[in-house]
Amino acid sequence: MLHLPTITSLSFIFNLLIGILFTSFYLHKKTTSFLLFGGACISFATAILLVSFKEELNLPCLTHYLANLFIILSPLLLVIGLNKFNNKAVINLTPLAYLYGLCALLLVFVYNHVLSQILTSFIVAILFLYGAFILLKTHCVAKLQQRLLIIGLVTHSLVMLGQVILLLLPFITSNNDDFKPQLHILLIAHLFITTLCALILPFIIFANSESKLINLANNDSLTQLLNRRGFFSTCKNIKANTADKNHTLALIMLDIDFFKRVNDKYGHDVGDQALKWIAQHISQLFMNIGITARIGGEEFAVLLNGYTLEQANTLAEQLSFNIRQQPFYCNDQSIPLSVSAGVSSTTINQLNLKELLLHADKHLYLAKETGRDKVVSQYDHTSSRKPTRPQYNT
Ligand SMILES: Nc1nc2c(ncn2[C@@H]2O[C@H](COP(=O)(O)OP(=O)(O)OP(=O)(O)O)[C@@H](O)[C@H]2O)c(=O)[nH]1
C-alpha cells in the first residue's frame, strides 16, 4: 500500500527542487512566469511542511490557516504564470485576486473546521480548471507534454471536487462515516498529480524557449524569411526526405539592382522597407511551393523542390515582372525597383546545395553583367527581354 509520509516527503522534495530551479532561471533570465512557477512549487512545498507539523505544534492558525493559504496560493501562482507565459493574457486576473482575498477572510472564521478543507479544495479545483483552460489556449511546441499537463490539471480538479463531495457527504446525509480511506486515497492522488504537473511544466517551458531561440537563429528579423543558416538547415533534409532520387529541384538566386543607390538617395530606413517589400513579393509567389530566404544583404534564394529549370525560370520571370509592375511606395514617393536572378537546377541524386548556389550565383552574375533586371538560367545565358534599368534622378 502507498505510504503517505513517504509520498508527502517525496512531493515536498520534488516541489522544492523544481521551485528552486524555476527561481534560479528567473534570476538568470528575468522572465516573470519563471518566478511565478517557482513560487507555485515552493508555495506547495511550504504547505506540505506546515501540515506535517500539525500534530507536534498544536498551532492551528499556522498548520491549518497558513497551510490552506499556501495550498490555494500554489495553483493561483500557476494560473498567473501560465497567463503570462501565453503572452496574450487569456483571462482577467483581477477576479482571481478578489477570490483569494475572500478565501483568506473566510478561512479566518473556519480554519479549525472541516469547512476550511471544503473551501480550500473547491477553490483549488476551480483554479486548476482555469490553468487547464489557459494552457489549452497556449501555443506549445511540446504538444504531448502540453496535453499531459492539461489532463493532469483537469484530473487534479476532479480529485479536489471529489474531496469536496466526500467532506460534504456527512453533512447532507444521515451517514456519519468520515470516509477516511477514500480521503486518504484522494490526498495521495493530490500529492502525486501536483508533483507530476510540476515535473512536466519545466519541459514545456524549455521546449518553447528552445524553439524561440532556434527561430531567432534561423530567421531574418527584418524580412521574416529564413536567413542563410536557416536556409541551409531547412534544405539539409530534402535529400533524405525525397524517395525518388531522379526528382529535380531548382534554385533561384535574386539580387536587388542598384540597391546601394536606393540607400544613398532615400536613406537606410527606406532601404530596409524596400528589402521587406521585395521579401513580401517573394513570399507571395513562393510561400506554398518553395523554401525562401534572405541569404545576404540584398540577396535572396528560393529552393523549389520538384520543379524543373524551365518552371523555375518562368517563376523567376513572374517575380521580376511583379516587382517591376508594382512600384514600391515609401513616404509618398514611388521608387522603381528591379531584381536580377540566376537559376540553376539538379536532381536529388546529385544535390549539393553549395554547388547549386554557386551555379545560380554565376548566372546571377551574368544577369548583372548583361544589363540587370533579367533572369539567367543554366540553359540560356541571354534573356529575351530587353532590360530596363530603374531610374533614380540623382
Ligand atoms: N538598407 C539596407 N541596406 C543593406 C542591407 N544589407 C546590405 N545593404 C546594402 O546593399 C547595398 C549593396 O550594394 P552593392 O553590393 O554595391 O550592390 P548594388 O548597389 O545593389 O548594385 P548591383 O547589385 O550591382 O546591382 C549596400 O549599399 C549595402 O549597404 C540592409 O539590411 N539594409
Taking a C-beta distance cutoff of 8 angstroms, is the pair 238, 248 a contact? no
Please determine, for residue 348, whether its predicted confidence score (pLDDT) is greater than 50. yes
- Do 198 and 325 lie in one domain? The reply is no
102 lies in some domain? yes
C-alpha 177 to ligand 1 mean position (Å): 83
Residue 319 falls inside a structural domain: yes
CB 326 within 8 A of CB 351: no
Mean pLDDT value across residues 69-81: 94
Average pLDDT, the chain: 89
pLDDT digits (tens, 9 = 90+) for 287-317: 899 999 999 999 999 999 999 999 999 999 9
Task: Say yes or no: 65 and 167 in one domain.
Answer: yes
219 strand-pairing partners: 226
Reported as a pLDDT band with limits 50, 70 and 90, residue 381 is: very low
Q: Residue range 93-100: average pLDDT?
A: 89
pLDDT of residue 237: 82
Q: What is the mean pLDDT of residues 169-180?
A: 75
Q: Is pLDDT above 70 for 136? A: yes
C-alpha 320 – ligand 1 centre gap (Å): 18
Planar angle of CA 162, 168, 171, nearest 5 degrees = 160
What is the identity of the amino acid at 77? L
Given pLDDT bands bounded at 50, 70 and 90, which one contains residue 2? low
One domain for residues 158 and 207: yes
Q: 171 and 65 share a domain?
A: yes
Mean pLDDT of 224-237: 92
Q: Report the nearest atom of ligand 1 relative to the CA of 340.
A: 25
Are 84 and 127 in the same domain? yes
- Do 23 and 99 belong to one domain? yes
- Give the single-character DSSP code of 379: T
**Is the CA virtual torsion 178, 182, 186, 188 positive or negative?**
positive
**Residue 353 domain-assigned (yes or no):** yes
Mean pLDDT of 207-236: 93
pLDDT of residue 89: 74
pLDDT at 378: 67
The rounded distance, in Å, linking the Cα atoms of 13 and 18 is 9
Q: Is the CB of 296 under 6 A from ligand 1?
A: no
Q: What cell numbers appear for 184 in the block?
A: 486518504
Q: How far is CA 226 from CA 210, 217, 260, 387, in A?
A: 17, 9, 23, 29
Residue 297 near ligand 1, beta carbon < 6 Å: yes
Instruction: For residue 386, tell me if it sits in a domain.
Output: no
Where a domain ends, among 162, 192, 218?
A: 218
Residue 142, pLDDT above cutoff 90 = yes
Among 259, 261, 268, 388, which is best to mutate for testing ligand 1, by the most ligand atoms less than 8 A from CB? 259
Q: What is the pLDDT of residue 127?
A: 94
- Indicate if ligand 1 lies below 6 Å from the C-beta of 276: no
Residues 277 and 172 in one domain: no
pLDDT score recorded for residue 387: 44
375 and 317 Cβ atoms separated by less than 8 Å: yes
Range of the domain at 292: 228-377
Q: Is the CB of 260 under 6 A from ligand 1?
A: yes
Q: Which of 248, 376, 384 is nearest to 304 (CA)?
A: 248
CA atoms within 13 A on the CB side of 324: 19
Average pLDDT over residues 99-105: 92
Query: In the predicted model, what is the mean pLDDT of residues 193-209?
Result: 88
392 occurs within a structural domain? no
Which is it for the CA torsion 5, 1, 72, 24, positive or negative? positive
Helix (H, G, I), strand (E, B) or coil at 374: coil
What is the Cα–Cα distance from 27 to 326, expressed in whole angstroms? 51
Our answer on whether the CB atom of 263 is closer than 6 Å to any ligand 1 atom is yes
Same domain? 161 vs 270: no
Predicted local confidence at residue 383, as pLDDT = 45
Q: Tell me the backbone φ, ψ of residue 388, rounded to 5 degrees.
A: -125, 115
Q: Measuring CA to CA, which residue among 191, 185, 181, 184 is closest to residue 8?
A: 191
Are residues 240 and 362 both part of a single domain?
A: yes
Per-residue pLDDT at 380: 54
Residues 73, 161, single domain; the answer is yes
Same domain for 277 and 311?
Answer: yes
Q: Residue 377 C-alpha to ligand 1 middle, in angstroms?
A: 23
Q: Is 113 among the domain residues?
A: yes
Looking at residue 187, what is its pLDDT?
Answer: 84
Predicted local confidence at residue 57, as pLDDT: 74
State in Å: Cα 57 to ligand 1 middle. Answer: 75
The pTM of this model reads 0.71
Checking if the pLDDT of 342 tops 50, the result is yes
pLDDT band at residue 246, thresholds of 50, 70 and 90?
A: confident
Domain with residue 336: its CATH number is 3.30.70.270
Asked if ipTM goes beyond 0.95, one says yes
CB 290 within 8 A of CB 305: yes
Q: Tell me, what's the pLDDT at 382?
A: 47
Does 90 fall in a domain?
yes
Q: Looking at the 3D structure of the chain, how many domains does it have?
A: 2
Quickly count: other Cβ atoms within 10 Å of residue 160's Cβ. Answer: 25
Same domain, 118 and 263: no
Cα–Cα dist 32/110, whole Å: 34
Q: What is the DSSP letter of 226?
A: B
Going by alpha carbons, the residue nearest to atom 18 of ligand 1 is 258
Hey, what long-range contacts does 282-290 have (CB within 8 A, 24 or more apart)? 282/225, 282/254, 282/319, 283/224, 283/225, 284/322, 285/315, 285/318, 285/319, 285/322, 286/315, 286/319
Residue 188, pLDDT score: 87
Q: Is residue 105 part of a domain?
A: yes
Place of cell 536557416: 230
pLDDT for residue 390 is more than 50 = no
